[in-house]
Structure 1
């Protein structure tokens, strides 16, 4: 009974604040305040407040919540022990370790240009000058793009 009275008082106070806000020509805020202030009285009229009060002061409900909490703690404890001891997922871990040892693309670390791709005029002794020319080509491409956009 007292919960319904408190909810009704909160709703009445909220509607009063909404009226004052509307008087100050803040209609959008007043409508929002009025909507929030109607929620407690709506909960009273639907019976949700009575159910919540009956549940909050019921020893049987608290015993049920305690049992649910204990079951949840037992579940978490058994999962922690399983992970620590390695009971669950042993086969999956072995498969993951085996997959981790093998390279995804074993030839990925090989050079992309082989000896057949080199021009006939270049010797194998000049790879040091090739990166400098490649770097200059990269910057010239960037400069061309910037000039194109007027930067």
Structure 2
């Protein structure tokens, strides 16, 4: 009841200011002030002020707002975590030669992996494959 009275008083005051402005021959400004002054009165007549006042002073409404805020925070947290994991996976796959996170550099980066040092032909390529495996085994002490 109090909120409706205050809104009606604000509308009446606004319409009074609009009338004074129109008296000074500033009709465009007076029309704009009158439009703003009629908004609170329209809200009172539609019942929006009563609903809003009931919602603002309701404990259950504020608990609901808190629950919605918590849900939003959880959604955002999962999005950030998902983006970080997708970014990490993209970085791992973008690295050439990496098999697993923390894997050492492949043995193919040695001298034999350079195109100028490789012997030509199919038999030479098979020899390079075995030399890579042999280098890996030596690296691990096998």
TM-score tier, shorter chain, comes to: 0.5 to 0.7
TM alignment of 1:13-32, pairs within 5 A: 13-32=13-32
- 1:68 maps to which residue? 68
Matched pairs, number: 94
- 2:114 maps to which residue? none
- 1:138 maps to which residue? none
State the TM-score, normalized to the length of structure 2. Answer: 0.60
Partner secondary structure for residue 28 of structure 1: helix
- 1:80 maps to which residue? 80
**CA distance in 2 between partners of 1:97 and 1:81 (Å):** 20
**CA distance in 2 between partners of 1:65 and 1:58 (Å):** 11
**CA distance in 1 between partners of 2:83 and 2:35 (Å):** 49
User: How many angstroms does 1:84 deviate by?
Assistant: 1.9
Query: What do the CA deviations read for 1:46-101 (whole angstroms, capped 9, x no partner)?
Result: 00011111110111111111100000001111111122223x895xx48x959xxx
- 2:40 maps to which residue? 40
Tell me whether 1:11 sits opposite 2:17 in the alignment. no
Unaligned regions of 5+ residues in structure 1, if any?
Answer: 99-151
Unaligned regions of 5+ residues in structure 2, if any?
Answer: 96-142
- Of residues 55-64 and 77-86 in structure 1, the stretch that sits farther from structure 2 once superposed is 77-86
- 1:56 maps to which residue? 56
Distance verdict in 2 for CA 1:7–1:89, change over 3 Å:
farther
TM alignment of 1:49-128, pairs within 5 A: 49-86=49-86, 90=89, 93=90
User: How many angstroms does 1:27 deviate by?
Assistant: 1.1
- 2:126 maps to which residue? none
State the TM-score, normalized to the length of structure 1. Answer: 0.57
